[in-house]
Structures are given as structure tokens and as C-alpha cells.
């Protein structure tokens, strides 16, 4: 018969324990440094298992509480304020665009001579699809960037044909 200690048994994944502990207390603007998260989670959030648990916790926090966690390099995770969500979304969109561009580069630098006719047709079709996706991603990313850009604070110049107002 095995000797088990009930205190060491975890009933569910660490992210669920973290969610149960702090989800009600999390507020926009809060900063959770790595040491604090390690204490709450029981895992180092910088390591692979701990990071996975934090990311899963962040996913749940976003979908259930409408709160987004953003990594602050070498510090921890910050709860993003609502007025910053669009900026975070644009960042993710640009990251996805870079991945699509890399996919296109992989396809562009394929040894076509090593492919048979069927593989070559599939490859060319895939290249066309990724190319269209890359073009769309680039265009929409630029449009979104312009949408979120701060308006320029240049003074309005008078129209050359209209008289100036007194």
C-alpha cells in the first residue's frame, strides 16, 4: 500500500489554483513580478512548466474577466488597462504578420527540383495562399497602426483661397 500525503495532492492544474487565489483581486494596472507569481503558483514562471501555467491563467483571465496580462521583460506580468487592449492587439497582429512572412520565406526557398509534379502544384498553391495572407496582414496591420496612432498636433494652415477669419 502506498503512503500518500494528502497535502501534496493537487486536485487540478496550477493555473486553476492561481485563478482561484487571485482572479477576484486582479485589477487593471496591477503588476505581478516573477517572485510573487512563483509564490502563488508554486512554479517558476520563467521556466517552461511555470510559463505555460501563467499563459493558461492569462487565457482564462482574458475570457472570463476581460483582463489581459502582458509580459514585462525581466519583471513579470502586468494587467493591461482597457484603453491599452487595442495596442496589445496590434502588437499580436504584427507578430502574426512576421510569422506569415517567415512562412512565405520558407516556401520561396524550397528546392523545387526535389519535388514531384503533385508536390510542386501543392507547393505553388500554398505559396499563393501565404502570399495573399501576407499582403492582407501587412495592409491591415498598417491600417490598424494608423487608426491607433496619436493624431498629429500641427496647426491648421489657412486655405489660400479663403479669407482669414478676424
Task: Answer for the pair 164, 158: CB distance below 8 angstroms, yes or no.
Answer: yes
**Could you give the 3-state DSSP secondary structure of residue 128?**
helix
Dump pLDDT digits (tens) for 116-158.
999 999 999 999 999 999 999 999 999 999 999 877 666 666 6
Q: Where are the alpha helices (DSSP H) in 3-116?
A: 14-22, 34-41, 48-65, 85-108
C-alpha distances in angstroms, 59 versus 4, 13, 35, 56, 128?
A: 33, 14, 21, 5, 33
For residues 68-87, give the mean pLDDT: 96
Tell me, what DSSP letter sits at residue 45?
T
For residues 41-52, give the mean pLDDT: 94
Question: Can you read off the three cell numbers belonging to residue 20?
Answer: 482561484
**Could you give the 3-state DSSP secondary structure of residue 71?**
strand
The confidence score (pLDDT) of residue 159 equals 65
Is it the case that residue 1 has pLDDT exceeding 50? no
Task: Answer for the pair 159, 104: CB distance below 8 angstroms, yes or no.
Answer: no
φ, ψ of residue 56 in degrees (nearest 5): -70, -40
Q: What angle do CA 79, 85, 91 make, to 5 degrees?
A: 105
Task: Answer for the pair 76, 31: CB distance below 8 angstroms, yes or no.
Answer: yes
Task: Look at residues 39, 113, 28 and name the one whose alpha carbon lies nearest to residue 79.
Answer: 28
Domain borders along the chain are 11-80, 86-146
Dump pLDDT digits (tens) for 19-28.
999 999 999 9
Dump pLDDT digits (tens) for 85-119.
999 999 999 999 999 999 999 999 999 999 999 99
Q: By percentage, how much of the chain surpasses pLDDT 70? A: 84
Amino acid at each position: 500500500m502506498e503512503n500518500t500525503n494528502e497535502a501534496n495532492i493537487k486536485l487540478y492544474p496550477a493555473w486553476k489554483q492561481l485563478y482561484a487565489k487571485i482572479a477576484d483581486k486582479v485589477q487593471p494596472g496591477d503588476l505581478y513580478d516573477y517572485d510573487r507569481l512563483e509564490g502563488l503558483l508554486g512554479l517558476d514562471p520563467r521556466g517552461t512548466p511555470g510559463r505555460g501555467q501563467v499563459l493558461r491563467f492569462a487565457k482564462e483571465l482574458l475570457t472570463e474577466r476581460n483582463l489581459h496580462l502582458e509580459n514585462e521583460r525581466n519583471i513579470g506580468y502586468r494587467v493591461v488597462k482597457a484603453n491599452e487592449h487595442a495596442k496589445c492587439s496590434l502588437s499580436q497582429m504584427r507578430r502574426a504578420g512576421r510569422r506569415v512572412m517567415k512562412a512565405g520565406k520558407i516556401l520561396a526557398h524550397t528546392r523545387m527540383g526535389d519535388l514531384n509534379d503533385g508536390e510542386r502544384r501543392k507547393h505553388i498553391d500554398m505559396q499563393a495562399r501565404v502570399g495573399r495572407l501576407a499582403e492582407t496582414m501587412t495592409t491591415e496591420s498598417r491600417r490598424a497602426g494608423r487608426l491607433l496612432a496619436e493624431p498629429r498636433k500641427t496647426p491648421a494652415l489657412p486655405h489660400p483661397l479663403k479669407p482669414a477669419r478676424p
